[in-house]
Every structure is written in structure tokens, then in C-alpha cells.
């Protein structure tokens, strides 16, 4: 049997004693979060995508929102004290985060960025986020995740 390969995100969670489970799905290239959630039978409102942006100051930020919704850039900027934020270009994701498009997660990046999670996750017992590589989803407590990476919950969607 092949050895299971852990991602940086999984190693971070284990090091910080955060309970999680993971699911994998067959995927050779990027698919959007809605298709991923549907493939795994996950509720869309409990499956979150990670978006990375850059503020006017040059700082980078992570925003986690339900996969079927859109980030409100004005609310996002306000949540991190910036005048404005713009999403980073797809070609820059790996260079900035260490992850590839479709595998980006707020944990285990090259550098821990300020992270804001949409407020709808605050009262969920568990939610799904990317596991750090295409084809892997992590199921964990939003509260435990937020505590471990010093994230906050706010309204950041359209």
C-alpha cells in the first residue's frame, strides 16, 4: 500500500493538535470549489475557498468564503484596515503562498498572512477547506482554525 502523503497544512494541524479529517477526490487539474464540493457531497455553505489578495500597503491577506459566493473587495479591505485590496494573479499564487491554484489553504503557507473567515462559518461545528493540494479537502472546526492562525470572522461577501 502506498504511503499517505501529508501536506504542510496537515502537518501544521497535527503539530498544533487540531483534530481534522480529510477527503480526497480524483482531479488532474484545477476545478472550482463548487464542483469539488459536489464531487465529495459536501454542502456548499460549509465548503470554503481561500482567496489571496494584496492591499495598497503591499501586504497580503487570505479570505475564506463559501465556494458559491463572491468576495466583496470593499468589505474585505475594511476588515483588514486597507483602503483597497485586489486578488493576486493566478500566476503568482505559488510564488506567494507555496500552494497551487485549487490547493491553496490558509495554513502551512510560506508565510502566515492575516486571515479573515466569512462570518457564516463562526457557528459551524465543522467546515471544509482545501487540504493544501489539488484533490484534498480538510474537514475541521472553524473556531479551532481561527484560533490557530489568529483569524477573525467578518462579513466579507457580496
Give the other-Cβ count within 10 Å of 56's Cβ.
11
- Closest by CA position to 77, among listed 96, 66, 63, 92: 63
Written as one string, the DSSP assignment of 42-100 is --GGGBEEEEEEEETTS-EEEEEEETTS-B-HHHHHHHTT-S-EEEPPGGGHHHHHSS-
Q: What is the pLDDT of residues 86-134, one digit of tens each?
A: 999 989 999 999 998 888 999 988 899 999 999 999 999 999 999 988 8
Q: What is the pLDDT of residues 61-78, one digit of tens each?
A: 999 999 999 999 999 999
> What pTM was estimated for this model as a whole?
0.92
Q: Return the domain boundaries, the chain.
A: 30-154
Give the pLDDT of residue 5. Answer: 74
Element (H, E) at 153: strand 152-154
Fold entry, domain 30-154: YbaK protein (3.90.960)
Amino acid at each position: 500500500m502506498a504511503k499517505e502523503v501529508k501536506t504542510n497544512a496537515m502537518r501544521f494541524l497535527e503539530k498544533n493538535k487540531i483534530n481534522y479529517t480529510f477527503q480526497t477526490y480524483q482531479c488532474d487539474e484545477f476545478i472550482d470549489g463548487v464542483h469539488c464540493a459536489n464531487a465529495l457531497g459536501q454542502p456548499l455553505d460549509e465548503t470554503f475557498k481561500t482567496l489571496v489578495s494584496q492591499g495598497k500597503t503591499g501586504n497580503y491577506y487570505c479570505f475564506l468564503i463559501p465556494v458559491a459566493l463572491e468576495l466583496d473587495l470593499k468589505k474585505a479591505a475594511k476588515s483588514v484596515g486597507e483602503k483597497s485590496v485586489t486578488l493576486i494573479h493566478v500566476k503568482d499564487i505559488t510564488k506567494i503562498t507555496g500552494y497551487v491554484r485549487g490547493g491553496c489553504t490558509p495554513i502551512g503557507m510560506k508565510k502566515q498572512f492575516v486571515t479573515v473567515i466569512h462570518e457564516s462559518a463562526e457557528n459551524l461545528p465543522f467546515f471544509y477547506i482545501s487540504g493544501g493540494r489539488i484533490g484534498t479537502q480538510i474537514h475541521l472546526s472553524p473556531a479551532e482554525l481561527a484560533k490557530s492562525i489568529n483569524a477573525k470572522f467578518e462579513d466579507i461577501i457580496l
